[in-house]
């Protein structure tokens, strides 16, 4: 009996750690992570559960004698909002007793299979839409919509493939920004575009670290003084990488 309870508590804590890890990896803000994990633990009957989450690791303790705390480390961070939504949904279903803790843990383990990323061509289309339409919104420049759409798509493709094959952080942003700026200048030189500056501004927008920045502000304001500045520095370095990329392209062409 005691053994069974211990196994159950272990499973609950493992579920909590896994849920928190997935949420932080996918780019959720910290208050939501703390809230969700504590809610799962309370719903499972661990009243005194506690959590300490940072950007690079998460510790969950059960608050009962025979199970200690579990640590999960977080090495990669990709933006995947659907995973955040999925963990949220699973936690709701668990709270409503629609699924039990084994099912919950199993679903979290297989979340990569349950939640599909958009295929590459849809992502490219999205990057193109962001680039093209923001040129119109920011710079009132309708004629450059098409070429910016194209350059933005190429920039995103460069980032995507470098992230898969090279896996050096910030280098992919740097090279993508350089490609975008060079293509923009060349396209104006050969008469496809009108204003190189506008094309660069638009095509860089999908690469700008928008979510890390908003999360940084939000984490810092909610009192998480470890994760907020850490995210801010991450966003700052990628913004600098983008800036250097553009600056080098501007020098060469």
Partner 1 sequence: MTFFIIKCICVYLSGIGFGLIVNLPHRALNIAGINATIGWLVYYWIFSTWGGLGAPNFFGGLVIGILSVIIARWKKMPSILFDVPGLVPLVPGGQAYNSIKNFALGNYQVAFNYLSEVVWIAGSIALGFIVAELVNKIRQKIRRVQARN
Contact residues: partner 1, CB under 8 A:
27-29, 32, 79-86, 88-89, 92, 117-118, 122-123, 125-134, 136-140, 142, 156, 197, 200-202, 204-206, 208, 210-211, 213-215, 217-218, 221, 239, 243, 246-247, 250-251
Give least dist CB 87 to partner 1, A: 9
Give least dist CB 88 to partner 1, A: 5
Q: Which residues contact 177 (CB under 8 A, 6 or more apart)?
A: 155, 204, 207, 241, 242, 243, 244, 245, 246, 249
Give least dist CB 250 to partner 1, A: 5
Q: Which is nearer to partner 1, 71 or 120 (CB)?
A: 120
Give least dist CB 221 to partner 1, A: 6
Q: Which is nearer to partner 1, 85 or 168 (CB)?
A: 85
The torsion angles phi and psi of 53, rounded to 5 degrees, stand at: -115, 130
In whole angstroms, give the CA distance from residue 14 to residue 102. 11
Give least dist CB 34 to partner 1, A: 13
Element (H, E) at 71: strand 69-73
**What would the two tokens of residue 4 be?**
């069974």
Q: How far is CA 244 from CA 84, 97, 120, in A?
A: 32, 52, 27
Could you tell me which of 196, 182, 183, 188 has the C-alpha nearest to residue 139?
A: 196
Q: Which is nearer to partner 1, 41 or 200 (CB)?
A: 200
Q: Which is nearer to partner 1, 9 or 173 (CB)?
A: 173
């Amino acid at each position: 009996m005691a053994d069974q309870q211990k196994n159950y508590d272990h499973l609950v804590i493992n579920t909590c750690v896994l849920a928190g890890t997935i949420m932080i990896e996918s780019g959720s803000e910290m208050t939501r992570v703390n809230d969700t994990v504590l809610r799962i633990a309370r719903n499972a009957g661990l009243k005194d559960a506690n959590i300490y989450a940072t950007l690079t690791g998460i510790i969950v303790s059960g608050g009962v004698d025979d199970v200690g705390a579990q640590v999960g480390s977080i090495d990669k961070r990709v933006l995947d909002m659907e995973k955040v939504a999925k963990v949220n949904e699973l936690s709701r279903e668990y709270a409503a007793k629609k699924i039990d803790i084994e099912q919950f843990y199993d679903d979290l383990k297989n979340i990569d299979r349950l939640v599909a990323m958009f295929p590459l061509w849809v992502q490219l289309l999205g990057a193109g839409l962001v680039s093209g339409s923001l040129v119109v919104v920011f710079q009132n420049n309708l004629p450059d919509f098409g070429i910016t759409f194209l350059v933005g798509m190429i920039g995103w493709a460069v980032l995507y493939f470098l992230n898969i094959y090279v896996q050096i952080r910030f280098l992919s942003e740097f090279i993508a920004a350089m490609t975008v700026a060079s293509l923009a200048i060349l396209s104006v030189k050969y008469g496809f575009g009108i204003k190189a500056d506008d094309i660069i501004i638009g095509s860089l927008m999908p690469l700008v670290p928008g979510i890390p920045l908003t999360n940084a502000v939000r984490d810092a304001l909610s009192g998480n003084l470890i994760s907020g500045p850490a995210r801010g520095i991450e966003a700052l370095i990628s913004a600098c990488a983008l800036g250097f990329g553009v600056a080098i392209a501007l020098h060469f062409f």
